[in-house]
Amino acid sequence: MAEQLLWIHHAPIQKKTQEIVGSGTDRSLSEYGLKVARSMAEVLHIMIDSDALSEPDSTILSSPLVRSTQTAEIIAARLGFDIQTDDRLKAQFFGDLEGRTIPELERSKRLKPYLYRYIDPVSRFDSRAAGEGESVSDVWVRAMDIRRESFETAQKGRFIITHGTVLDTIIGSIRALKHWDWDGVNREYPRSVIVDKKIEMDVIPLIKGDD
């Protein structure tokens, strides 16, 4: 049974041309994002090699979305690790709101009510958008499920590459935040490893960067 899990947000992706709900499409890492991923991989290699970070199991868990698998592949190649994907690590899916702009949704009689429930941090915990959208609670349930399973099955620990909406639920749970304070909490720890010790966490910054 592992004593810790090592959570990492995927590297930066291609910029949105305009502000939209969710990811819109399964976008790839930007050139800058590829550079960030390589830098993170190098720092992790140095930390493990110098025993500054305990070496985890040699299989990285990753969301199957491209931005996460690209990040995982770069880190895995540098560390000599394998990769296993799991749908429970996917970013939150916003159903019919996904990929649409706020003005577009405000003009839609059908989707406008869902938009307001999505914007409100209290109601969005249990509210699902049309088109099989997920609530924050849905994301939290699957994130906690793979977290529990990883603690039980990993031997030394495990790198897990995922998305901000998943990390928000992990960090918010460990820090015992009210669920309406979870949104965006992962941004407090950019380019870092979140060392999950079940009831507490440490943060290891890897590289500097605001984006």
Q: Could you tell me the pTM of the whole model?
A: 0.91
Tell how far CA 179 is from the center of its chain: 17
Q: What percent of the chain has pLDDT over 90?
A: 68
Res 209 pLDDT > 70: no
Contacts of 31 (CB under 8 A, 6+ apart): none
**DSSP label at 59?**
E
Q: Which of 77-81, 130-134, 180-184 has the lowest mean pLDDT?
A: 130-134
Q: What is the pLDDT of residue 211?
A: 44
Q: What is the pLDDT of residue 114?
A: 84
Task: Give the C-alpha distances (Å, rounded to integers) separating 175 from 51, 117, 158, 169, 199.
Answer: 27, 25, 20, 10, 8
Whether the CB-CB separation of 15 and 25 falls below 8 Å is answered with: no
9-42 pLDDT, tens digit each: 999 987 666 667 776 567 899 999 999 999 999 9
167-187 pLDDT, tens digit each: 999 999 999 999 999 999 999
How far is 91 from 166, CA to CA, in rounded Å? 6
- pLDDT band, very low/low/confident/very high, at 121 (cuts 50, 70, 90): confident
Q: What is the pLDDT of residue 24?
A: 55
Task: Give the residue carrying structure tokens 């890897």.
Answer: 206
User: Averaged over 40-45, what is the pLDDT?
Assistant: 96
Segments of 52-197 assigned E as strands: 59-62, 82-85, 158-162, 192-196
Cα angle vertex 81, ends 50, 71, to 5°? 95
Residue 107 CB coordination number (10 Å) = 10
